[in-house]
């Protein structure tokens, strides 16, 4: 699970826009709808001879079938691995010859498909994008090759304890809910993925009425006709989404130890299920998180790192997703300091909730977030990405225009109310990724410990 989705959704400024004080004027762009139902955002930018396409498909790893974790990722990664016209090598070679790129990124809620080149190669980029999107072959040879690579990557995650701790914590926090699965899938599920599963997922979710396209850069009005021509055989279909299982919230402090012998340092994750993207306290919690663990001056850094010397780094974050995302505190420490670090972190969080934040802290956090704001759409591509994400979550463009003013309006009372409402220190889940031999006794001094083996998360 990826750990933050604060897009500006994080920060920004854009060359063609107007930004002064607390006002921000979005650059003009055009929205059209193709005959097949695809919404297209046309964002012209003639400053550089560049051209790019970004498509958001409204399906991510949370849409994986129960016993086929990794299917969304597999489907996305297979798009450019061969079409009915060209094999994977030819596609890669054609892109390389022109210095163009093509990339697919699969998240929990959605998939982003992107491609870019110099504007001189715009026609090729549109043709290539249309071909790999609408005519993927899903050959068995490429499926087997990708399966081998994916399984190797899953096994190699053993050498990255921080990442594997994140995987284990997602599973611990969400259980059977789709947010609890790793996007690459488990080894068992990946091995079971077959061509028919990929085709079924693709045909169900990769539809023009289930996607949004942004076209960015140097182009003229003929672009719409080119898109119509390239995507004319891509047809709409009613999308029936699966209902997610009900989230099971913790009812008390819970601890899990994932045994990984041989580690020199222990990974620690502490948190609970947080908010969805539409929650009224989204911005209030951004301020709160900056104060708690989202900046170098944060409470957690000052207490656990600077004062107690228990770690080199500790941070917190809220992931606001389509459904309630995680609130997570992440750190690492010496194996013999696991218990002390867990206690210090929870104590700091309790103080944070009970005593609240000060006006000085809120002003500092607001200034930091507003100061970061210009970077989020400093390029046309970043603007496009933010617009796609906002459209996906059903949030109006005015979120960008009013961002600074809305942050400036946040009061100390707003932040403290959000902290009290959304952080429950009595219902935290604590996961420690560490050798059992040294960690178990320390954790038993805190509470009842469930023990798992790291291999369960491969």
Q: How confident is the model at residue 1 (pLDDT cuts 50, 70, 90)?
A: very low
**Average pLDDT of 320-338?**
97
Q: How confident is the model at residue 420 (pLDDT cuts 50, 70, 90)?
A: very high
Q: Single out the residue of 454, 452, 431, 456 nearest to residue 443, CA to CA.
A: 431
Residue 241 confidence (pLDDT) = 80
| 15 and 217 Cβ atoms separated by less than 8 Å | no
Q: From start to end of 90-210, where are the E strands?
A: 101-106, 111-118
Separation between Cα atoms, residue 298 and residue 293, nearest integer Å: 5
DSSP string, 394-448: T--THHHHTHHHHHHT--HHHHHHHHHHH--TTS-EEEEEE-HHHHHHHHHTTS-
Residue 372 reports pLDDT greater than 70: yes
10-47 pLDDT, tens digit per residue, is 322 223 344 445 566 788 899 999 999 999 999 999 99
pLDDT of residue 378: 83
Of 49, 58, 96, give the one whose Cα is nearest residue 76.
58
The rounded distance, in Å, linking the Cα atoms of 166 and 268 is 9
pLDDT in tens, 209-232: 999 999 999 999 999 999 999 999
**pLDDT, mean of residues 53-58:** 98
DSSP assignment of 233-282: T-------PPPPPPP---SS-EEEEEE-TT-SEEEEEEEEE--BTT-TTH
pLDDT at 399 over 70: yes
As given in the structure block, the two tokens for residue 145 are 């090759």
pLDDT surpasses 50 at 3: no
Q: If you average pLDDT over residues 425-452, what whole number do you get? A: 97
Angle between helices 140-156 and 71-78 (to 10 degrees): 130
Residue 269 phi, psi (nearest 5) = -130, 130
Q: Which residues contact 176 (CB under 8 A, 6 or more apart)?
A: 245
Place 250 in a pLDDT band, splitting at 50, 70 and 90.
confident
Q: Residue holding tokens 């490429």?
A: 142
Q: Express each pLDDT in 94-146 by its tens digit.
A: 999 999 999 999 999 999 999 999 999 999 999 999 999 999 999 999 999 99
Lowest mean per-residue pLDDT among 12-16, 267-271, 320-324, 452-456: 12-16
Q: Average pLDDT of the chain? A: 92
Percent of the chain residues topping a pLDDT of 70? 95
Distance of CA 165 to the CA centre of its chain: 17
Structure token pair of residue 64: 């994986």
Mean pLDDT of 56-64: 97
| pLDDT on residue 73 | 97
Find the helix packing angle between 282-292 and 412-422, rounded to 10°: 90
Beta bridge partners of 288: none
Write the CA distances from 136 to 65, 259, 310, 328, 358, integer angstroms: 21, 42, 51, 38, 56
Delineate the domains of the chain, giving CATH numbers in brackets: 18-230 (3.30.830.10), 254-374+409-457 (3.30.830.10)
How many angstroms separate the CA atoms of 73 and 107, rounded?
8
Listed range (54-63, 206-215, 372-381, 389-398) with the worst mean pLDDT: 372-381
Quick one: pLDDT at residue 408?
96
Stronger pLDDT, 205 or 372, i.e. the higher one:
205
Split at pLDDT 50, 70, 90, the class of 71 is very high
Q: Which residue has the tokens 């045909």?
A: 203
Q: Is the pLDDT of residue 246 over 90?
A: no
Cβ pair 440, 266 in contact under 8 A: no
Q: Give phi and psi for 244, each to the nearest 5.
A: -75, 145
Residue 249: the pLDDT is: 82
Q: Which residues pair with 40 in a beta bridge?
A: 32, 213
Reference 72, options 165, 196, 185; nearest CA is 185
Q: What is the pLDDT of residue 21?
A: 53
């Amino acid at each position: 699970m990826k750990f933050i989705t604060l897009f500006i959704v994080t920060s920004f400024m854009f060359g063609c826009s107007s930004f002064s004080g607390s006002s921000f004027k979005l650059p003009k762009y055009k929205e059209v709808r193709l005959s097949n139902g695809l919404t297209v955002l046309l964002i012209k930018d003639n400053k550089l001879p560049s051209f790019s396409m970004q498509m958001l498909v409204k399906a991510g790893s949370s849409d994986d079938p129960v016993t086929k974790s990794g299917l969304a990722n597999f489907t996305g990664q297979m798009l450019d691995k061969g079409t009915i016209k060209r094999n994977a090598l030819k596609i890669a070679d054609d892109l390389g010859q022109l210095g163009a790129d093509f990339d697919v990124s699969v998240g929990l809620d959605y998939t982003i498909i992107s491609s870019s080149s110099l504007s001189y190669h715009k026609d090729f980029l549109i043709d290539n994008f249309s071909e790999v999107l609408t005519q993927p072959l899903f050959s068995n040879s490429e499926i087997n090759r990708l399966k081998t690579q994916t399984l190797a990557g899953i096994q190699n995650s053993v050498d990255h304890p921080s990442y594997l701790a994140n995987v284990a914590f997602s599973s611990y926090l969400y259980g059977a809910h789709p947010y609890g699965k790793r996007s690459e899938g488990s080894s068992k599920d990946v091995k079971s993925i077959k061509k028919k599963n990929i085709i079924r997922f693709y045909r169900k979710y990769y539809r023009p009425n289930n996607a949004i396209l942004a076209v960015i850069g140097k182009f003229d009005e003929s672009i719409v006709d080119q898109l119509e021509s390239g995507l004319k055989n891509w047809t709409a279909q009613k999308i029936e989404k699966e209902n997610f299982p009900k989230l099971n919230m913790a009812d008390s402090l819970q601890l899990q130890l994932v045994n990984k012998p041989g580690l020199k340092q222990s990974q620690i994750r502490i948190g609970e299920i947080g908010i969805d993207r539409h929650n009224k306290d989204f911005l209030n919690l951004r301020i709160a998180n900056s104060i708690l663990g989202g900046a170098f001056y944060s409470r957690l850094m000052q207490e656990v790192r600077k004062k107690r010397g228990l770690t080199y780094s500790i941070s917190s974050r809220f992931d606001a997703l389509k459904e309630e995302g995680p609130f997570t505190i992440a750190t690492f420490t010496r194996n013999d300091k696991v218990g002390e670090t867990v206690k210090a972190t929870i104590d700091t969080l309790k103080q944070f909730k009970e005593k609240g934040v000060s006006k000085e802290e809120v002003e500092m956090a607001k200034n930091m977030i507003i100061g970061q704001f210009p970077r989020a759409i400093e390029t046309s591509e970043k603007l496009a990405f933010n617009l796609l994400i906002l459209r996906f979550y059903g949030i109006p463009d005015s979120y960008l225009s009013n961002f600074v003013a809305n942050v400036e309006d946040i009061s100390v009372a707003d932040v403290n109310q959000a902290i009290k409402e959304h952080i429950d220190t009595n219902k935290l889940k604590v996961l420690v990724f560490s050798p059992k031999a040294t960690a178990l006794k320390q954790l038993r001094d805190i509470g009842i410990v469930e023990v798992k083996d790291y291999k369960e998360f491969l």
